Structure 1
Amino acid sequence: MKHKKILFFTLIFIAFILVVYALYHFNIIPHKKYSNEDFKIQRYISQTDKDSDGIDDQTDILDGVRSYIATHPKYKSKYYETGYPDDGYGVCTDVVAFGLQNAGYHLMELVNEDILNHRETYNIETVNKNIDFRRVQNLKVYFANNSISLTTDISDIEQWQGGDIVVFQKHIGIVSDKRNKKGLSFVIHHAYPYQRHYEEDILENRNDIIGHYRIS
């Protein structure tokens, strides 16, 4: 009987550890955040101030993203005649769009212009200004054409700065200025309906990073 109790409590303990690990792995349990200063990394400041508000573009983008996620947008993919979601819903591309809009970059107009000027680089049958800028594959092409391309090696931590754009195979987000204990950047993103936190430690768990960009 004693051995059965020991086995029972051992299994309970192992199950508890596995549950905690899973909750941590999937960011249900928030990860501790560190700053650039903790790793002696100099914060990147853009030399451009597109909207002439006295705040550099890189900081403006990050501020805009934080303002957007503070509204706690709910995840839903739908079409808007206005282009930009206006009803409290959104998807991953909207995090990027609203972040850049805060710096004076209007992705709906910019992506549409780039598509019309470089139609051969976009795999689009019918151009639709209101939705094209909200598709990951289009943003990958747009940023590759119009921004600074950076490393996709996440271990090169100094090259990852808050306000950068990271593109995955079927997802996109904005790089945070917060980091994990290894110095790897968090990502501000919107991935699915039941996501609890918008700023998450996910880079190390992804093997599908296809682009890392910075507005020039």
Structure 2
Amino acid sequence: MKLTESKKAPRRRRVTVIVVIAALLIAALGIWLAVKKMTRIHYASDFGFEDIKSAADADGDGIDDYTDIKNGALAYIATNPIYGSKYYNGGYPDDGQGVCTDVIWTAFAAAGYDLKAMVDRDIAEHPEAYPDIQKPDPNIDFRRVRNLKIFFERHAEVLPTDFRDRSEWQPGDIVIFDPSHIGICSDKRNFHGVPYLIHHGNIEDGAVEADDMRRMKVVGHYRWRVSENIQ
């Protein structure tokens, strides 16, 4: 009888080891699947809603304004601009350098809008709306975040800055962050349904489309709308 029990003991240990290994493998697989799900790119349809399309097509290319703005922002970062804040005669960077606001006017140009002209006109016609501007400077005013915030508050649809309703965050939306940063919403989303941000961050990060939306405090969220008063 003792011999029989002694033979059973190693077998029990082997079974225990196999069970433990199997449990560890299952746990590891579960963790891997969870991480994969959290890190993979999601889209609006994964959360039960669709991307909004604009009724406007300013440049007449058959693509709506919101999509054009998003695509224009992506086209800008694809040029791999070097982060550098400089003043340019004429306003537009011509040396492969840029800052966050260059994503915005470039994106609008891709949709058929001259953001510089619109901002310059608004400043000239409504100087009281821009109290920080002592003397208008068309070479730089449209590349300042504080001026763009005022402009979009006046001429775009103002949207919530929290993320409780993910469907309110759409490709092509403009987002402004504290203290002085701006970017464009992508159609890509993270695990929680928050859009990726298309932006020219800083010297270290460069121009990217990344899951950066919640890395900074959102202080402005806008969607462009066609306005006869500003075109």
Question: What TM-score do you get using the length of structure 1 for normalisation?
Answer: 0.82
Match of 2:170 in 1: 161
Does 1:113 find its partner at 2:121? Answer: yes
Hey, what's the Cα distance between the residues in 2 that align with 1:66 and 1:163? 10
Q: 1:188 aligns with which of 190, 193, 198?
A: 198
Hey, what's the Cα distance between the residues in 2 that align with 1:173 and 1:141? 15
Residues 127-156 of structure 1 show CA distances to partners (whole Å, capped at 9, x for unaligned) of 001100000000000001111111111231
Match of 1:97 in 2: 105
Hey, what's the Cα distance between the residues in 2 that align with 1:48 and 1:134? 25
Match of 1:74 in 2: 82
Q: Which moved more, 1:189-198 or 1:97-106?
A: 189-198
Identity among equivalent pairs (%): 48
Q: Which runs of 4+ in 1 moved over 6 A?
A: none
Hey, what's the Cα distance between the residues in 1 that align with 2:69 and 2:76? 11
In structure 1, stretches of 5+ residues that fail to align are 1-30
Shift of 1:179: 0.6
Shift of 1:55: 1.0
Residues 18-65 of structure 1 show CA distances to partners (whole Å, capped at 9, x for unaligned) of xxxxxxxxxxxxx53211121122110000011111111001111111
- SS of residue matched to 1:209: strand
The within-5 A match list for 1:25-174 is: 31-122=39-130, 123-169=132-178, 170-174=180-184
Contact 1:48/1:56, CA 8 A, preserved across alignment: yes
Question: RMSD of aligned C-alpha atoms?
Answer: 1.2
Does 1:179 find its partner at 2:189? Answer: yes
Q: Which moved more, 1:48-57 or 1:133-142?
A: 48-57
Q: In the alignment, residue 168 of structure 1 is paired with which amino acid?
A: F
Hey, what's the Cα distance between the residues in 2 that align with 1:117 and 1:127? 11
- SS of residue matched to 2:148: helix
- SS of residue matched to 1:105: coil
Q: In the alignment, residue 192 of structure 2 is paired with which amino acid?
A: K
Contact 1:154/1:203, CA 8 A, preserved across alignment: no
- SS of residue matched to 1:130: coil
Q: Number of aligned pairs?
A: 185
Residues 68-96 of structure 1 show CA distances to partners (whole Å, capped at 9, x for unaligned) of 11100110000111212121110000001
Match of 2:3 in 1: none
Question: If you compute each CA radius of gyration, which structure gives the higher value, 1 or 2?
Answer: 2
Contact 1:33/1:178, CA 8 A, preserved across alignment: yes
Hey, what's the Cα distance between the residues in 2 that align with 1:101 and 1:61? 8
Shift of 1:100: 0.6
Q: In the alignment, residue 157 of structure 2 is paired with which amino acid?
A: I
Question: What TM-score do you get using the length of structure 2 for normalisation?
Answer: 0.77
Shift of 1:196: 5.2
Contact 1:155/1:184, CA 8 A, preserved across alignment: no
Q: In the alignment, residue 54 of structure 1 is paired with which amino acid?
A: G
Shift of 1:119: 0.5
In structure 2, stretches of 5+ residues that fail to align are 1-38, 226-231
